[in-house]
Amino acid sequence: MDSKSKAQITRVCDAGLSAYLAQQRADYRLKSFSVGLVSGVLVCIPIYLLTNYYNLSSSLTVLPLFGGIVGGTYRGLTQSEMQDANYTVDFEEVCASVEPDEEDESDGDQE
């Protein structure tokens, strides 16, 4: 493992499990919001084209965008804690694998 990766893993392990879980939840919420936004935009494009083709009110175009944003935000807020058990196991495995390496290095310095 290179020193940059090891330093990053050590930093995350030193911050603790609660900080790691908070970061993972924030990442999930951002991803859900982004998916909702992109989905809303992708649905808005054909609706905009159809409203222009049939000379309908283009105010209907914002409904899918609004729905995508609200849906993505709702999903992110309500489901961000569902993977906590998996993230906890991953955190403990990675941090446990890094800790013995650090102890071995410090023992080698003392001799």
How crowded is the C-beta side of 51, counted as CA atoms within 13 Å? 14
Provide the 10 A C-beta neighbour count for residue 30.
13
User: Which single residue is written with the structure tokens 């013995």?
Assistant: 100
DSSP state of 82: T
Which amino acid appears at position 22 of this protein? A
Helix (H) or strand (E) run with residue 57 in it: none
Please report which helix (H) or strand (E) contains residue 80, including its range.
none
Query: What's the CA gap between 100 and 90, in Å, rounded?
Result: 16
pLDDT band at 42 (very low <50, low <70, confident <90, very high): very high
Query: Rounded to two decimals, what is the model's pTM?
Result: 0.81
Q: What would the pLDDT profile of 58-111 be if each residue is shown by its tens digit?
A: 888 899 999 999 999 999 999 999 999 999 999 999 999 887 654 555 555 554
Q: Which residues contact 5 (CB under 8 A, 6 or more apart)?
A: none
